[in-house]
Amino acid sequence: MTSKFVRVLLAAAFVFSLAALAQTGNAAANPPAAPSAASTPAGAAGGTRVGTINIEQAIFATNEGQRDFDALNKKLEPKQNELKGMNDEIDGLQKQLNTQGDKLNEEARAILIKQIEQKKKSLDRAVQDAREDAQNQQNEIAQRILQKMAPIVVKFAGDNGFGMIIDTSNPWPNGPVLWYGPSVDITKTVVDAYNVQSGVPAPPVSAPSASKPITPHTTRPVVPATKPPASNQPK
């Protein structure tokens, strides 16, 4: 699951991107000389409809997003394997302590315990560093896609009479939207439009990988997996 940090970053960046585009549109619509109707950008048109978009889901659902996040996961596999090796080593020492601890003298037992503790600390640091690196690279991909997606959202809103588009990436009660119907959700429409504009083909369908993210002595994966689409029903 993507981290809360990634979700907050995407939401903030999305608001900033749309605000910047809206200001650009408004400035273009109100120059010193009165513009003609043909010169007014669609994004500057006012509307009364309210729509929703799961911007996080949209980013991950694009062909470009699927391609690049899959490539990132493959890039990070060697680190996953390295961490797994470190974790397996600690498990082996822990089993040795559990099975032979009462047979060791006090000094040998203390040395083994200290060795386990040191290796756990090294692993925890390695996991944290790997997680931060993975999140930074995820953020770079998401930001790149978001910068190209925001104008598509603005244009669609202007062309279809929307006065407001609300991000539903963070579901209720953590997000502001209690409930919304599928008729107001524009996520798929935006993803389809993005795919056409980007020209990136749909990724080939492959069998799910049997490997799982390594979470040694931690409660979070090194490489957060893609979050499933948020429900539009209140909980």
- pLDDT number for residue 25: 44
Stretch 73-98: mean pLDDT: 95
- pLDDT number for residue 46: 66
Confidence grade of residue 195 (pLDDT, cut at 50, 70, 90): very high
CB 141 within 8 A of CB 10: no
- pLDDT number for residue 45: 52
Q: Which residues lie across from 53 on neighbouring strands? A: 167
Q: Look at 10-24, 32-46, 154-168 and tell me which has the smallest mean pLDDT.
A: 32-46
| Average pLDDT value over all residues in the chain | 77
CA–CA separation, 159 and 38 (whole Å): 14
28 has a pLDDT exceeding 80: no
42 has a pLDDT exceeding 80: no
CB 202 within 8 A of CB 61: no
Q: Which helix (H) or strand (E) holds 52?
A: strand 49-53
Instruction: Tell me how far apart the terminal alpha carbons of the chain are, to the nearest angstrom.
Output: 19
Q: Look at 2-6, 58-62, 174-178, 196-200 and tell me which has the smallest mean pLDDT.
A: 2-6
For tokens 């490539």, the residue is: 71
- Pair type for strands 162-167 and 49-53: parallel
- Higher-confidence residue of 137 and 214: namely 137
